[in-house]
Amino acid sequence: MKDFSTEISYKTSRSSGAGGQNVNKVETAVTGIWNVMESQFFSFDEKLRISEKLKNRINSEGLLQMTSSESRTQLQNKKIVTEKMLELVKKSLFVPKKRLATKPSKGQIQKRIDNKKKLSEKKENRKFRF
């Protein structure tokens, strides 16, 4: 995986929620912003794949944004945002293997038919005859 963390720009803001004076005066929430199409680390095809897979997270300007206010420190939140963004892009670049269609073997087909016959006989024997 390519480390494009140098292309991510960061913005800070005040975190919400409980925390008292620390929350009121310290900007610990971090938002990571990355322009997908202007990246130097990925080819055009990879950029298209990232844009397609993450289209719900990328805004109209082509920026991927992610915010973290989990930690009490700005540095820790910056680290969390970077890791999450790297992981998200890594998952979006994954191409699953094509499934090869296979046929069941003759033995498996015969086994299935034999089981059906046995079940049919069992149910037939349950019937009451006059």
What pLDDT digit, counting tens, does each position of 28-81 carry?
A: 899 999 999 888 888 999 999 999 999 999 998 989 999 998 888 889 999 999
Q: Which of 29, 42, 129, 117 is nearest to 77 (CA)?
A: 29
Q: How far apart are CA 53 and CA 66, in angstroms?
A: 15
pLDDT of residue 103: 94
pLDDT of 27 strictly over 70: yes
* Per-residue pLDDT, 81: 94
The band of 87, judged by pLDDT with boundaries at 50, 70 and 90, is very high
Q: Residue 57 is which amino acid?
A: R
In the predicted model, is pLDDT for residue 22 greater than 80?
no
Instruction: Identify the structural domains of the chain with CATH numbers, from first to last.
Output: 8-93 (3.30.160.20)
Who has greater pLDDT, 116 or 2?
A: 116
With a pLDDT cut of 90, the percent of the chain lying above it is: 55
For residue 78, the Cα-to-chain-centroid distance in whole angstroms is 20
Q: Are 10 and 32 in contact (CB under 8 A)?
A: yes
- Looking at every residue in the chain, the average pLDDT score rounds to 89
